[in-house]
Structure 1
Amino acid sequence: MEIRTTALARARHMLESQGRFPGGALPGDISDSWLRSLHLGIDPLARHEKLILSDTEFKLTQDHHADLVRFARPELELLFDQIAGSNFMIALGSPEGVVLETLVDTEFAESDAGKAVVPASVWTEELRGTNALGLCISTRRPAQVYGGEHFLRAHSDVSCISAPIFDGRGGLAGILDASSRSTVRQQHTAALVQMSASNIENCLIRSAHDRRIVLQFHPRPEYLGTLSVGMLVLEDDFSVHAVNRKGEMFLAGIRNLIGTSFDSIFEQRFEDVALRLAQGETLRVRDRMGSAVSVRCVANRASFALAVRLFSAANPQQARRSETPAPEIRNLFRDVVIEDEELIRRLRPLPKVATVGQSIFIQGETGTGKEIIARLAHAASGRSGPFVSVDARTLGPDAEAALLGRPKGAPGLIEQAAHGTLCIDEVSALGHSAQATLLHVLDHGSFRHPADGREVRCPVLFVSTATVSLTAEVAASRLLPALRYRIEGFSILLPPLRDRSDLDALARRFVRAQGEGFDIDPSALTLLARHDWPGNLHELRSIIANAVIQASGPKLRAENFAPFLPISHSPQQSIQACPQCSGVPWKESQCRVIRDAVRQHGGIAQAARTLGISRTTIYKHLLAES
């Protein structure tokens, strides 16, 4: 290290004093970059300029690379947490060298480097000489530039590690960079940066090709679903449209992969294995170089369409019998109340999604009906197996055993849900080990039983529910990014009750569920509409049950809800209960409702009609004060 540092110091001295440097004094990529910087006429002693795009230019750049930013953000956050130490930053760059996003620790942010590497800044070799982000763009390879290896002396107090992100078609999609104030070579950090870049690349390829067949392959089947997997994207004629870097490595003996047919790469014709792949099987095939790989199809729109098409061709009579229209949302939900048009719009694709088996994620506040929607998805799927539901927070450290089963015990949750639906609430509460196990099962449709190692096939419709977004859970390092992309297939955000337009219909349904003959007065519905409903449907159901107990007859009126539904008033409109009701909370609440109704309607008669009570009752609450 001392010899190399001395060589670097001599090279820098010659560079800055003579405009040249000795060959062999620097790593090859750094030497080539210094030569390019010299040819560009960059002065190594110049102060770096603040090369920042205008707001308009940066907004256009961000919009152009929106998918890159979306898939990279959780990886940036995970990488930021993984890198040990302090005084560092993580940056995402565009193929043009524009910094799109940064995550910076406080110490680094206060340094000159932290103030220079900011969103909208440009870091190409042409503008800043040798730097990791610019070098990565020039070479299309991972780059490490430490301290004085930067061409500009002004950048010699920082070390940078960059890795390219490709688009699968040979083009550069972006750059991932980690910078720190340390000049010690950080191979562990370099490995983490490259792993994160590979994950972003795979996510981009999957997302961009939802309407094309995407194949995953690896020489070892247990590595399917990991960062080491190769990916091939096929055109309609089954020629290669895109391939990730791992795929290129596995098929290194086959030149010009883009445009090459599947049959030219592998010994089997795609038509001979297409149906089995589209239906979720993992197959063992050999490439033209004689190497065996395990292949499976990524579950997306194209694979579902292919499975339906091939199955229909192979089984025309059965296909005709099954050609029934997808159930309408109102028919599917005939046993529940959904009359809010926005919610209906969000749920309309659910029957089709459940039928094809795509993973479903349901987000909503506590009490918004997440499990109800999960059960209806199960019903729509037509699966023969059971609906198995569990709150991950109840599983504790034994979560993995609960999922797979114990060596000598009952089947695990996954096996119990085979051919049915597995619904996990708050999936991020599972430990990372259990999450990795779940990811493996969802990707393979099977697992090795912990008792005897036998392979257990367990095709399931997977539904996850949560009160917060999966993005937030990944950002907090509670959820593995790879699992997030696997379970966030079809996402539904359930609105809170306060934002739904069908509160009246829901209230009527819950009231009638209390028994035959029960009904609710319009005055009570008016009162219910004023409440904020922090407990959502759970709270509405509970308050109605309590109101039924208070009611003297089958028709619920506003006064029956008053003890359980305090009305909040602004200070200037605060209404006091009459003396005879003071001191008894439920009487005070009821009294305030009555006195408020008189104030709002400007008279006793109208208030009596609205509340559904006699004028005599109202007089009692008004006259008791005088």
Structure 2
Amino acid sequence: MEVRTTALMRARHMLESQGRFPGGALPGDISDSWLRSLSHGLDPLARHEAMTLTDTEFRLSQDRHADLIRFARPELELLFDQIAGSNFMIALGSPEGVVLETLVDTQFADSDAGKAVVPASVWTEELRGTNALGLCISTRRPAQVYGGEHFLRAHSDVSCISAPIFDGRGGLAGVLDASSRSTVRQQHTAALVQMSASNIENCLIRSAHDRRIVLQFHPRPEYLGTLSVGMLVLEDDGAVHAVNRKGEMFLAGIRNLIGTGFNAIFEQRFEDVALRLAQGETLRVRDRMGSAVSMRCVANRASFALAVRLFSAANLPQARPTPSHPPETRNLFRDVVIEDEELIRRLRPLPKVATTGTPIFIMGETGTGKEITARLAHAASGRSGPFVAVDARTLGAEAEAALLGRPNGAKGLLEQAASGTLCIDEVSWLPHPAQATLLQVLDHGSFRHPADGREIRCPLFFISTSVSSLTEAVASGRLLPALRFRIEGFSIQLPPLRDRSDMDALARRFVRAQDDRADIDADALYLLGRHDWPGNLHELRSVIAQAVLRASGLCLTVEDFGGLVPVAAEPLAHAAACPQCAGVPWKESQCRSIRDTVRQSGGIAQAARTLGISRTTIYKHLLAQA
């Protein structure tokens, strides 16, 4: 590390004094980027200048990349929680290098770097020289730029890590970036950034192709639906329209996938397997290179249409799906681990309600799966339009314009969701005039555009979600009573994670989503089951992601969760020793001592240091409580 640092210092000195540098002094990607920066005529000693879009330009950029922003926002929040340090920020960039959104901690926000990396700022190599976001755009590969590796000395007090987000057609859809004031190389953070970028990519591909057949495939069937799944999007003639990066990896022996027919990739003809895939079956197929994969069809508009067409052609009316029947309900929810019988009971009417177009209200704590439940309802509705989701808290005073459209003619949320589904989170946060507008549209199915007064028809399926009841919102004066009765057609309350019986299944799903080879042992599952999980599924996913990255083996143990999951205080309050120590006086004394030390020190790591024993030993005494 010292040799590398010295080489970098020498390279910087030559760059700043002579306009050149020794070729072997830097990593190849950094060296190439410095050369490009020189070719752009940049001065490494130039002072930092504000390089941002105008308000109008930035608004157009946000509109152009609205889907990217929508799917990236929860990943930004999760990544921010996962890094969980200080003096850092998370940023989402467009393919043009424009920062679209940021999440930043207070310490970083007050720094020069925090004031430079802001929404609407531009970070291409042409303007800023070597930086991770710009380098990622230039190379279309993950990039890491630390301290003095930045071309401009003005940026040498920050380190940044970026990962590309692709659109499935070979194009760049965006860039995810994590920046900090630390110059220590952060491979843990780099892995988290790349995983989040892959998740955004998969969401984008699924959302953009609701009218095309989307296939998920993986060599191992238990990993379908996880982050590691391959995805193929098919045209009507069976040719590949799009493929995600995992899909390209699984089919690496087949060149030029885009435009290649399904029948040229796999040994089975699509016509022979389409009906079973459309019915929701998981099939084992073999590609032309001889590798077998498990495959299933994503439930979307195209798959429902294909099923109806094939059922009719085969003259099998008895095969028509009956959403109210329990097996079909389970099939609808196959992309979510749901083994909790009470939750299944609550969700069972959802397909039937969705097909009638009755407004749905979904209530649950943050992280309980409200949006994914809304997406399942949209898929079950069979509507031809898109699923459009928005958090009312982000709209502010611009809410009415966001709903109806802007005077410049830009489409509003209502028009975007025409013939589809509009999902509004925390609808009571809309200003009352916007609520009145929404009520009128839901009643009449149309509105007049503010730009030219023309009437726009927008029949839509409406879903609202919230952490609190609509009764509370009306009582506090936030929600108009008339709107409450219009949107509360069918209500579902999602249970918090601590009340679900399928905790183990969810944990295993999240583990395999991070690494399809990984698993988790029984003791670790018991530890997770004792935590309250105030952040619900978001928190569980974050904790498991960090545990997988720090684990030394492929099976997660209690030790891998040290410091990530607090041990419940209740077992420590009992005077009795744990069952494995009970009845042996010296063991009981030792056990009580360990429990008291954990309680007094406030954590297992500190208790281990105080007692001079391993954390694993402490966990054994805590987990053995009956």
Fold agreement, TM-score > 0.5: yes
Per the TM alignment, residue 71 of structure 1 is displaced from its structure 2 partner at its CA by 0.4
* Alignment of 1:296 onto 2:399: no
Asked if 2 retains the 8 angstrom alpha-carbon contact of 1:435 and 1:480, the reply is no
Matches of 2:59 and 2:175, distance apart in 1: 18
Partner of 2:244: 244
Paired residues of 1:225 and 1:440 also in contact (CA < 8 A): no
Q: What residue is the counterpart of 2:234 in the other structure?
A: 234
Deviation at 1:17, TM superposition (A): 0.8
Provide the residue aligned with 2:495 in structure 1.
Answer: 392
The verdict on how the C-alpha distance between 1:25 and 1:478 changes in structure 2, with shifts beyond 3 A counting, is: closer
CA contact (8 A) 1:240 1:257 kept: yes
Give the Cα separation in 1 of the matches to 2:508 and 2:487. Answer: 23
Residue aligned with 1:248, SS? helix
- Call closer, same or farther: CA 1:297–1:14 in 2, change over 3 Å: same
Q: Match for 2:176: what amino acid?
A: L
Asked if 2 retains the 8 angstrom alpha-carbon contact of 1:8 and 1:26, the reply is yes
Following the alignment from structure 2 to structure 1, what is the Cα–Cα distance between the partners of residues 377 and 164?
A: 40
How far apart, CA to CA, are the structure 1 residues paired with 2:377 and 2:108? 50
Native 8 Å contact 1:363 1:370 kept in 2 = no
Aligned mates of 1:286, 1:320 — CA distance in 2: 28
Secondary structure at 2:285 match in 1: strand
Q: Which residue in the other structure is 1:189 paired with? A: 189
Helix, strand or coil for the counterpart of 2:41? coil
User: Match of 2:274, as an amino acid?
Assistant: A
* Partner SS state of residue 24, structure 1: helix
Please state how far the C-alpha of 1:55 moved relative to its aligned partner.
0.4
Say if 1:88 and 1:218 are closer, same or farther in 2 by CA, change over 3 A.
same
Kindly indicate whether the alpha-carbon contact (under 8 Å) linking 1:93 and 1:177 is maintained by their aligned counterparts in 2: yes
Change (3 A) 1:280 1:23: same
Per-residue displacement from partner, 1:569-626 (whole Å, max 9, x unpaired)?
xxxxxxxxxxxxxxxxxxxxxxxxxxxxxxxxxxxxxxxxxxxxxxxxxxxxxxxxxx
Where does residue 221 of structure 1 map in the other structure? Answer: 221
Matches within 5 A, 1:203-602: 203-316=203-316, 318=318, 346=359, 363=465, 365=469, 392-393=495-496, 396=498, 399=500, 402-403=501-502, 435-436=506-507, 477=538
Q: Which moved more, 1:351-360 or 1:131-140?
A: 351-360
SS of 1:101's partner is: strand
Q: 2:106 is matched with which residue? A: 106
Q: Distance in 2 between matches of 1:185 and 1:392?
A: 40
Cα distance in 2, alignment partners of residues 60 and 108 from structure 1: 28
Aligned pair count reads 388
1:67-112 per-position Cα deviation (integer Å, ceiling 9, x unaligned) = 0000000000000000032100000000000000000000000110
Contact 2:53 2:122 (C-alpha < 8 Å) held by counterparts: yes
CA displacement at 1:40 relative to structure 2: 1.2
Equivalence for 2:350: none
Structure-2 change in CA distance of 1:238 and 1:14 (3 Å): same
Residue 66 of structure 1 is matched in structure 2 by: 66
Q: Are positions 1:19 and 2:19 aligned together?
A: yes
Larger of the two Rg values belongs to structure: 1
Instruction: State the alpha-carbon separation in 2 of the partners of residues 372 and 138 from structure 1.
Output: 49
| Matching residue of 1:202 | 202
Structure 1 letter corresponding to 2:197: A
Within 1, Cα distance between the matches of 2:487 and 2:66? Answer: 33
Contact 1:362 1:370 in 2 (8 A): no
The separation in 2 between residues aligned to 1:95 and 1:353, in whole angstroms, is: 30
The 2-side partners of 1:165 and 1:354 are apart by: 28
Q: Residue type of the partner of 1:269?
A: R
Say if 1:211 and 1:300, in contact at 8 Å, map to a contact too: yes
Q: What is aligned with 2:32?
A: 32
> How far did 1:313 drift?
1.2
Distance in 1 separating the partners of 2:2 and 2:90: 29
Residue 392 of structure 1 aligns with an amino acid whose one-letter code is P
In 1, the alpha carbon distance for the partners of 2:129 and 2:89 equals 20
Moved more, 299-308 or 363-372: 363-372
Distance 1:289 1:320 in 2: 36
Task: Identify the residue that residue 578 of structure 1 maps to in structure 2.
Answer: none
Cα pair distance change 1:51/1:22, threshold 3 Å: same
The whole-number CA distance in structure 2 between the counterparts of 1:220 and 1:370 is 46
Pair 1:355–1:6, CA change in 2 (3 A): closer
Report if the CA contact (8 A) 1:240-1:259 is conserved.
Answer: yes
- Rounded to whole Å, the distance in 2 between the matches of 1:81 and 1:351 is 29
Check whether the contact 2:359–2:489 (CA below 8 A) recurs between aligned residues. no
Identity of aligned residues (%): 78
TM-score, normalization: structure 2? 0.57
CA contact (8 A) 1:97 1:123 kept: yes
1:163–1:176 CA contact under 8 A, matched in 2:
yes
On the 8 A contact 2:359/2:488 being kept in 1, the answer is: no
The alignment yields a C-alpha RMSD, in angstroms, of 3.7
Does the Cα contact within 8 Å between 1:312 and 1:319 map onto a contact in 2?
Answer: no
Letter in 2 for 1:35: L
Letter of the structure 1 residue corresponding to residue 213 of structure 2: I
Q: Helix, strand or coil for the counterpart of 1:178?
A: strand
Q: For residue 204 of structure 1, what is the amino acid of its counterpart? A: L
| Structure 1 residues 116 and 390: alpha-carbon distance in aligned structure 2, compared to 1, 3 A threshold | closer
How far the C-alpha of 1:369 sits from its partner, in A, is 9.1
Alpha-carbon distance in structure 1 between the residues aligned to 2:110 and 2:295: 49
Task: For 1:314, give the aligned amino acid.
Answer: A
Runs of 4+ with deviation above 3 angstroms: 316-322, 343-347, 349-364, 366-375, 433-441, 476-481
Letter of the 1:187 counterpart: Q
Residue by residue, what CA displacement relative to the aligned partner does 1:348-392 show, whole Å, maximum 9, x if unpaired? x999975879999764625679999669xxxxxxxxxxxxx9862
How far off is 1:311 after superposition? 1.3
Indicate how the Cα distance of structure 1 residues 297 and 20 shifts in structure 2: closer, same or farther if over 3 A, else same: same
Q: What amino acid maps onto 1:156 in structure 2?
A: S
Question: Compared with structure 1, are the counterparts of its residues 204 and 479 closer, same or farther at alpha carbon in structure 2 (3 Å cutoff)?
Answer: farther
SS of 2:90's partner is: strand
Kept in 1, the 8 Å contact 2:129–2:151? The answer is yes
Contact 1:215-1:297 at 8 Å conserved across structures: yes
Distance 2:172 2:494 in 1: 42
Shift in Å at residue 396 of structure 1?
Answer: 3.7
- Offset of 1:315 from its aligned partner? 2.3
Following the alignment from structure 1 to structure 2, what is the Cα–Cα distance between the partners of residues 238 and 47? 54
Counterpart in the other structure of 1:508: none
In the alignment, what sits opposite 2:177? Answer: 177
Distance 2:180 2:321 in 1: 64
Shift of the 84–317 alpha-carbon distance from structure 1 to 2, 3 Å rule, reads: closer
User: Cα 1:353–1:373, aligned 2, differ >3 Å: closer, same or farther?
Assistant: farther
1:392 is paired with a residue whose SS is coil
